Amino acid sequence: MNSFSDFFMIKKLSIFSFLFLSISGLIAQEYDQISIGAEYVDQTYYSIKQGTIQSNDYRVWDISFSTQGLQDGGIFINEAAHLNADSQLELFHVPNGDYNQNVIIDLEAWTQLYNPDQNWQTGAFNTIADENNPLDYGWGIYDPSSSVVSGRSLYVIKLRSNTYKKIFIESLDSEYNFKYANLDGSGEQFISISKSDFVGKTVAHYSLENDQLVNIEPESWDLLFTRYMDYVGDGNGTFLDYSLTGVLSGVNVQVAQADGVNPSDAMESDYIDLYTSQVDEIGYDWKSFNIGMLQWSIAEDRVYFVKNTDNNICKIAFVDFEGSMTGVTTITKECNIVADVTDVANSSLTSVNVFPNPASNYVDLALDFKSKTAGQISILDITGKAHVSLPYVFNSGFQSTRIDLNMPTGNYIILLETADSVRHLPLIITR
């Protein structure tokens, strides 16, 4: 059996043996628990595909610097604080301040700054920028002729030890250059942080307490369970800054929030227009504290659809929050993972993605081949019946193929077969 069609037959038999499990895994709901520790002492990085990646004591860093692109210059303060913390970090802008002079504490004249929690390019240090000046980074001004951001603003930061430091961001080109010292100028440190040392990371973390970089961020994560500051209404029309426990999204992770729904029935296809990359879209308000019952309540009619950069999509519902005793959050997770599995090594097919998914009338396959390749695309249901089976000759390079769908609502597998590989990708069809 050396023919191309014989190869397909062998591959279909081998794949069908796990076809049912693949489809079952696609729609299975699983529970997951994420902890930030008793009294909220940790921050936890989470992958919608892998679960918890790692947890770190939030106190190991104080400020962080965005590292995603050449032009981003976001600088953040660590707003996390455990429940009974005596002190937490506070950042102040000193108007007309001069780093080279001794600084006298004057909290009434200074403005306290917070992270906006809208994206990973704008932190607390950036919030004093002139909104009408695109060259204004807050802490500095960008010069298009030199591609350098030059510092202009003085800040004072109160550390958790209740000591104060003055800090001045001097410049940014391919690296951040900054200095900080005690208010009288003693204990001065000069620091450079190169973005090239943090490729694949969102930010570079730095500890002012220990005068060192802190490498705590995993290279791939979707959600960050942590504590942060936000404005919360007191019920009387006044909004105050509170330290809250919540969830922030990673770079290019999109979230769609669906309210007033039965979580088990909500379909991602109904909410694709609600996707946003705002960092705090999940935030903290999926829970509230019931004073009468002295316990946390969960918004039971809400789900979140989370889509990451690998085009993995999960429907997430919060079902429990244990509070400061354990710091444990319980979620249900129902994932439609756009798989990219190769059964044969050295495939001519380098990548394939399926969209939309769930789909209704058609589905598009985005494909990239190293060389011209003959193949076949089939769509199978849970019984193994092929509803679509089409031969193709794929050209070298990137291309897309649209397949019309005439099948009923259900769960399917797309089989993409070539002479050197087989890919199987879950597909949901909704009518």
Instruction: Note whether residue 147 is domain-resident.
Output: yes
pLDDT of 273 strictly over 70: yes
Q: Is residue 235 part of a domain?
A: yes
CATH number of the domain enclosing 13: 2.60.40.2550
Does residue 127 share a domain with residue 15? no
Rg (C-alpha) for the chain, rounded Å, is 26
Mark whether 197 and 303 lie in a shared domain.
no
* 400 inside domain: yes
Q: Looking at residue 240, what is its pLDDT?
A: 53
Please compute the mean of the pLDDT values over residues 299-325 and round it to a whole number: 92
Q: Are 331 and 31 in contact (CB under 8 A)?
A: yes
Q: What is residue 343's predicted lDDT score, i.e. its pLDDT? A: 42
Mean pLDDT of 406-426: 85
- The Cα–Cα gap between 84 and 39 comes to 7
369 shares a domain with 290: no
Alpha-carbon gap, residue 8 to 22, rounded angstroms: 19
200 and 261 belong to one structural domain: no
Q: Is residue 231 part of a domain?
A: yes
Cα–Cα separations (whole angstroms), residue 396 to 4, 37, 347, 371, 414: 19, 51, 13, 4, 21
Q: Give yes or no for residue 25 having a pLDDT over 70.
A: no
Total residues found in the chain within this entry: 431
Indicate if 72 and 198 belong to the same structural domain. yes
Q: Which of 173-187, 207-221, 231-245, 411-425 has the lowest mean pLDDT?
A: 231-245
Q: Quick check: 348 pLDDT over 90? A: no
Q: Three-class SS of residue 269?
A: helix
Instruction: Count CB atoms within 10 A of the CB of residue 289.
Output: 11
Per-residue exposure over 171-203, b if at least 16 CB sit within 10 Å of its own CB, e if not: bbeebbebebbeeeeeeeeebebebeebeebbb
When divided into structural domains, the chain yields a total of: 3
Asked if 204 and 71 sit in the same domain, the reply is yes
Q: How far is CA 3 from CA 255, 346, 348, 377, 422, in A?
A: 46, 20, 18, 17, 16
d(CA 66, CA 43): 18
Structural domain harbouring 98? 62-214
Tell me: do 274 and 310 sit in the same domain: yes
Claim to verify: residue 295 and residue 327 sit in the same structural domain? yes
**How crowded is the C-beta side of 181, counted as CA atoms within 13 Å?**
16
> Do residues 226 and 358 both lie within one domain?
no
Contact predicate 202/306, CB 8 Å? no
Residues 40 and 101 in one domain: no
Domain boundary among 305, 336, 367: 336
Band (pLDDT 50/70/90 cuts) for residue 301 is: very high
In a domain, residue 57? The reply is no
Angle at 309 between CA 305 and CA 313, to 5 degrees: 30
- Note whether 101 and 170 are same-domain residues: yes
Candidate from 20-34, 114-128, 282-296 with smallest mean pLDDT:
20-34
